Structure 1
Amino acid sequence: MLEKEIERKLVKEVRKKGGLCIKFSSPGLDGVPDRMVLLPDGILAFIELKAPGQKPRKQQVRRMQQFEKLGFRCFVLDNMDGIGGMIDAICSS
């Protein structure tokens, strides 16, 4: 399974919840997560997508920790089975 396939499924499932799953890039700020999930009622989370079994790079981990210190939820997603639970966790925040 490719990262791109997981990403497509994530986008589809977020849309079903009435949200947006926006590709996120920030020139000049290395290690930002791949996607921003925006859900109704002002819910925002950041998602780093990986191929199954792959782990975020050190800079990506540091950036997610920085975002979490600011109060934002960050997730690493490396399989399709985790999408539903992750969206539920985002909604419960």
Structure 2
Amino acid sequence: MREAEVERFLKEEIEKMGGKCFKWVSPGQRGVPDRICILPEGRIVFAEVKVEKGGVVSGMQKYMHKLLTGLGCRVFLLTGKPSVVKMVTELRNER
């Protein structure tokens, strides 16, 4: 499954929860996660999307994930529809 398909599925699932899922492009700052997911009640999570097989998280992406988690943010690494379902289930159960 291609990254674009996983991102589309993620967007649909976040919208079912009443949230928004934006593509994140940050000029001048490499390594930011692919998506910012803004959920009801002000919850914000970040999602890095990779293909199931062969998807590699770069060193800069690892650095940014560590930076964001150090600031108290949640970053999910999604490698296919099952990982999106797992993330959404986890987020729903936190309510």
The question of a shared fold, defined as TM-score above 0.5 by the shorter chain, is answered with yes
Unaligned residue ranges in structure 1 (runs of 5+): none
Query: Size of the alignment, in residue pairs?
Result: 93
RMSD: 1.3
1:84 aligns with 2:85: yes
Give the corresponding residue for 2:58: 57
Distance 1:55 1:44 in 2: 24
Give 1:29 shift: 1.1
Give 1:84 shift: 1.9
Q: Structure 1 stretch 9-18 or stretch 51-60: which is displaced more? A: 51-60
Does the CA-based 8 Å contact 1:45-1:90 persist in structure 2?
A: no
Please list, as runs of the form range in 1=range in 2, the aligned pairs for 1:1-93 lying within 5 A after superposition: 1-53=1-53, 54-91=55-92, 92=94
Q: TM-score, normalised by structure 2?
A: 0.91
Aligned with 2:75: secondary structure? strand
Aligned partner letter, 1:62: Y
Distance 1:88 1:2 in 2: 22
Distance 1:52 1:85 in 2: 15
Give 1:89 shift: 2.7
Distance 1:88 1:73 in 2: 15
Unaligned residue ranges in structure 2 (runs of 5+): none
- Percent identity, please: 35
Does the CA-based 8 Å contact 1:51-1:79 persist in structure 2?
A: yes
Give 1:90 shift: 3.5
